Amino acid sequence: MINLRTLTDKALNKLANYYISKLKNVKYTLDGEEKEIDFFSKKVIGNTACAYVFFDENYKGKITNIRVIDKDGDIVAQDKKVYERTTDKALYIAFKHEFTEV
C-alpha cells in the first residue's frame, strides 16, 4: 500500500497555529480547590503546538486534574498526573501536540 501525503507542511503548520490561537488557559485543582492559571508561553514549531504552564516555587500542596481550556470553554487536553510539592523548585508543564496526516 502506498501512502500518499496530501497535506503540505504549510497546511500542518496552519492547523497547529489555529489550535494554539484557540487556547485560553488551564484549570487545575490545588488541595481540593479549583484554580486557573494563564499559559506561561504558547508557540508553534513546525507542525507542533506547544503550550507551557509554570507554577512558581510559591505554590504549596498537591496539584491534580490539570485541564487545558479553549476559548469556547471546552477541555481540549488534560494531564492526570498528581504533582505534589516536595522541594522548593517550581513546576513547569508542557503540552505538546503534533499535527500530522495519517
In this prediction, residue 60 has a pLDDT band, given cuts at 50, 70 and 90, of confident
Tens digits of per-residue pLDDT, 30-57? 999 999 999 999 999 999 999 999 998 8
pLDDT above 80 (res 4): no
Alpha-carbon distance 2 to 100, whole Å? 17
CA atoms lying within 13 Å on the CB side of residue 90: 8
Tens digits of per-residue pLDDT, 68-100? 999 999 999 999 999 987 777 888 999 999 999
26 has which bridge partners?
37, 68
Give the start-end residues of each E strand in 31-74. 33-37, 41-45, 48-55, 62-70
38-42 contacts at long range (C-beta below 8 A, 24 or more positions apart): 40/92
pTM of the model: 0.87
